[in-house]
Structure 1
Amino acid sequence: MDFDRDRLSTVQLVPPTPFSPDGQAILPEVLEDFLRTVHHKGIRVVLPGAGTGEFHSLTASEVVSCVQAARKAMGREGIVVAPIGLGLHHALETGKGAIEVGADALLVMPPVHPYLSDSGVRDYFDFLMKKLPKPFLVYKKGPFPSDDLLVELGASDQFIGVKYAVNDLDAFTRFAAKVGGQLGLYCGTAERYAPFFHLAGATGYTSGAGNLCPRLTLAMHQALVEGRYQEAMRLLALLRPIEDGRARSADSYNISLLKTGLSLLGRDFGPPRPPQRQVTEQEAWEIKRLLDPILVAEAALDH
């Protein structure tokens, strides 16, 4: 397929989805305005409505609306990767709608079905790739799809990359050696693990922290690309409190911390939808204290 995979070798931002105060409606215009801002600050790849965008709480039409808002915000120089997943009907409906509104590629989210096997997952991918004529990436967050199946799928020109979110660096290193540049490889567990995945063969990483401090995480990625590892680790140390905070209690602050942080920046993204965690007033104060020095460092790069 005619797609420049190298354009994905950067920070891939996963924005939260803004909701109305009661959480019932999404607000695409808020997302579009926000993404225009981060695009101005250097972000070039976005995954609207994906994991941090509460994919599993969104309808297919809501995901498509997020993709459309992102397309408007990013212009033609940005890359918009649309998430698809859940049942085949949901995945197909979302994928068709996302393509219609301008998605550049599709990301197959981790399967949540019980009784999984590589055989069944292969059928799932084959069906979607035949029906949806766009480049495909896969979000690996568990044993299925296996690394062997991903190598097999990589024989197709349509399958272009893997968002690898299993923090087993030895397994990832072996996988990177097997695909040998055949697939784009991206760290799916954000800044805390990005330097180590980079050394093992990843060329980019997904980010939630970049919603709050895009310049800091872009600077960290650039340092990795240029082999300035001491600087990359210095920047990671600045960013790490965000990721450590999001990871508390089995990653259950992943979305709510970012939405709280955005509200401190004057951007009201509304509450997370249940069953995502809500934050208490005390927790919001703790998040503000955690973010203050990071936002000062980000502001220094703005200038």
Structure 2
Amino acid sequence: MELDLELLSTVQLVPPSPFSQNGQELLPEVLEDFLREVHRHGIRVVLPGAGTGEFHSLSSTEVVSCVRATRNAIGREGIVVAPIGLGVSHALETGKGAIEVGADALLIMPPVHPYLSDEGVRDYFQYLMKRLPKPFLVYKKGPYPSDTLLEELGETDQFIGVKYAVNDLDAFTRFASRVEGRMGLYCGTAERFAPFFHLAGATGYTSGAGNLCPRLTLALHEALSEHRFQDAMRLLSILRPIEDARARSSDSYNISLLKAGLRLLGRDFGPPRPPQRQLTDEEVREIKKFLEPILEAEAALGR
């Protein structure tokens, strides 16, 4: 059940999930072909079907299909972290299927149930961990699970890390100092916040922008790891328009923008499924305009 945490200390790519034009059919072969390309550019950790992959719009079978396509694409060199969540039966079915097709670890997605408490979330986590024999990470995006519960869970070898997606740097700094060395800590809010989480103790971060510019975001992570913070902030300034645009209107452009950008690169991932935002023609033109210099910088790194 061991997984070398050093392997997770990098850019953790969250790819969109590709659909047919009516949004009904998942196209795992499109995902597999795309991930082969980004793997060649250096991406080594992938979270297929997670938040940016429209987890809440996918069936358990579809999540497993994304995991299988990812495993096929990146081979044994890379790390595949499969998302699980929603109801217990859905989480178990997804987790078992993901393990069967080669997931290295499981990521418990943020609970979306009403009336949450640490006591209930603890029961949920422990139930899943007891029945799914893989390392676990937790995606923290709200008050539950609390940092206190995460510390408690970190006492077990099976619980290996946190995707911390609450932008309270003071709370994260205090949490990181208390759990130092006991679990992996990763910024869950991508490039905009990655440098600041890194200073506070994170060693990697999840990325959606890496789908459009994998070389740039890998260079950003390398600069952070080598404490070249001026270079890191310069690279962030290049990437930042993607993240700023995705964050508009309560992050509702998160998935739609990436799918539009991939289409401009010749990678048609189809439309996002409702209730995700559909883009207007004017918005697509705007995206194309601000992406041009970013994609030029990405291509220059390739040369």
Q: CA deviation at 1:264?
A: 0.2
Q: CA deviation at 1:181?
A: 1.2
> Is 1:130 paired with 2:130?
yes
What SS is found at the alignment partner of 1:216?
helix
> Is 1:101 paired with 2:101?
yes
Aligned to 1:218: 218
Inter-partner Cα distance in structure 2 for 1:184 and 1:280: 40
Aligned to 2:8: 8
Deviations 1:160-199 (A, max 9, x none): 0000000000000000011021010000000000000000
Inter-partner Cα distance in structure 2 for 1:236 and 1:242: 10
Alignment of 1:1-303 (within 5 A): 1-303=1-303
Q: CA deviation at 1:5?
A: 1.2
What SS is found at the alignment partner of 1:138?
strand
Cα RMSD, aligned residues only:
0.4
What SS is found at the alignment partner of 2:161?
strand
Identical aligned residues as a percent: 80
Q: Which letter maps to 1:58?
A: L
Inter-partner Cα distance in structure 2 for 1:277 and 1:180: 39
Inter-partner Cα distance in structure 2 for 1:64 and 1:151: 29
What SS is found at the alignment partner of 1:206?
strand
Q: CA deviation at 1:18?
A: 0.2
Q: Which letter maps to 1:151?
A: E
Q: Which runs of 5+ in 2 are unaligned?
A: none
What SS is found at the alignment partner of 1:150?
helix
Q: Which letter maps to 2:160?
A: I
Q: Which runs of 5+ in 1 are unaligned?
A: none
Q: Which letter maps to 1:50?
A: A
TM-score norm. by structure 1 comes to 1.00
What SS is found at the alignment partner of 2:33?
helix
Inter-partner Cα distance in structure 2 for 1:277 and 1:207: 19
Q: Which letter maps to 2:220?
A: M
Deviations 1:85-112 (A, max 9, x none): 0000000000000000000000000000
Q: CA deviation at 1:3?
A: 1.3
Q: Which runs of 4+ in 1 moved over 6 A?
A: none
Q: Which letter maps to 1:92?
A: L
Q: Which letter maps to 1:6?
A: E
Deviations 1:16-67 (A, max 9, x none): 0000000000000000000000000000000000000000000000000000
Q: How many residues align?
A: 303
Q: Which letter maps to 1:147?
A: D
Q: Which letter maps to 2:50?
A: A
Inter-partner Cα distance in structure 2 for 1:127 and 1:28: 30
Q: Which letter maps to 1:51?
A: G
TM-score norm. by structure 2 comes to 1.00
What SS is found at the alignment partner of 1:112?
coil
